[in-house]
Amino acid sequence: FPRGGSDITGSLAAAALHADVYENWTDVPGILAADPKIVKRPAPIETLSYPELQLLSAAGTQVLHESAVAPVRERQIPLHIRSTRIGFDAPASLSASGVIGFAGRRPVSMLRVIFPENTEETALWEVRACLNEHRVETFHSACGVEGLCLLLSSGAEADALHAAAEQLREHFSGAQVKLRENLAVLLALCRSTKDIPKLSAAIEASGAPVHHLVQTPPGAMFCVNDSQYEQALRAAYGAAFA
């Protein structure tokens, strides 16, 4: 079976055709609740659902590539990653606060387009088309009363980000286009929103301001300065698992 955290989409697809259980053996004892390079001895996650695993992978967990989960998920085949079991109905192991674990994506940029009036539905597509033209990848977008907020992957060059922002300023006359760089996304995976204010308060108390908060069940994404990501993670982990 494949080892390590590489993209194993092809192997998973082949195994899913005939397997009752797919096992992936890695050099770590399963999926941990936080990055062990930042948090000392993080708790192991015993069980996850496929949507939870895909959310963790999209946010930065390196055990499996996000697209590699699709073949076994489609055939509803249980997936074992060392000590972590992934399935559809497996209850996730929770801390006392109800938090399952944390993952991070860094660095990222945040683009806000604030309109003088309510946002039109077509505006998001126009913004995304502009970003695609400049080869800027969007991994999350939201449309609110005031306007749009998009989280952008770190792969884009700074010149491309600034060129896209300037083009949007010209296209949307009267709108405010604000680009913020050198951020990080801290994902808290949890099955309840009741502890999100507690996590946010712990992050803020550590000295890392939360610039943007997105609730994306089963979790929440906190945008913090990339330079303060590690202290934010330690603070959030302590609030959830202490």
Tens of pLDDT, residue by residue over 137-172, are 998 998 877 789 999 987 778 999 999 999 999 999
pLDDT tens digits for 175-191?
999 999 999 999 999 87
As a whole number of angstroms, the distance between CA 113 and CA 149 comes to 7
pLDDT of residue 155: 74
As a whole number of angstroms, the distance between CA 240 and CA 242 comes to 6
pLDDT tens digits for 16-29?
444 455 455 454 55
- Least Cα distance to 237 among 210, 198, 207, 209 occurs for 198
pLDDT tens digits for 96-147?
668 989 999 999 999 999 988 766 668 889 999 999 999 999 989 988 777 8
126 in Cβ contact with 147 (< 8 Å) = no
Backbone φ/ψ region at 60: left (φ over 0), alpha (ψ -120 to 50), beta: left
DSSP string, 32-101: BSS-TTTSSSPPBP-EEEHHHHHHHHHHT--SS-GGGGHHHHHTT--EEETTEEEESSPPPP--TTSEEE
Helix (H) or strand (E) holding 126: helix 121-133
